[in-house]
Amino acid sequence: MRTFRAGSTRSGKNAEDLIKQAFRSYKYSEEKYLSADSAYCNQTIIKTCMSIGVKFTIVANQATTSWRDQIKNIT
């Protein structure tokens, strides 16, 4: 049975664990996709997706995440 996190849970908290859990039944070679918002725009999430073979897109606003300033840290 699936459970939901409390509404007061901070966005993106333990997201890497949630991603791994969501894709655990897939083989690395199987196609897997993740679409996420700026809460998932960080190095840990990107590395997690890459490590389990998930193709992903993350929508992030430069004004609130400053992702351009961090690109060297996440690639």
pLDDT of 65 reads: 76
The DSSP code sequence of 22-58 is: HTTTS-TTS--EEEE-GGG-SHHHHHHHHHTT-EEEE
Q: How many domains does the chain have?
A: 1
Does residue 28 form part of some domain? yes
Q: Give pLDDT, residue 31.
A: 96
Is 6 within a domain? no
Q: Is 49 a domain residue?
A: yes
**How confident is the model over 14-49, as pLDDT tens digits?**
899 999 999 999 999 999 999 998 888 888 999 999
Q: Which domain holds residue 40?
A: 15-74
Q: How confident is the model at residue 74, as a pLDDT?
A: 63
pLDDT at 33: 97
Say if 52 falls within a structural domain: yes
Beta carbons of 38 and 64 less than 8 angstroms apart: yes
Query: Does residue 32 form part of some domain?
Result: yes
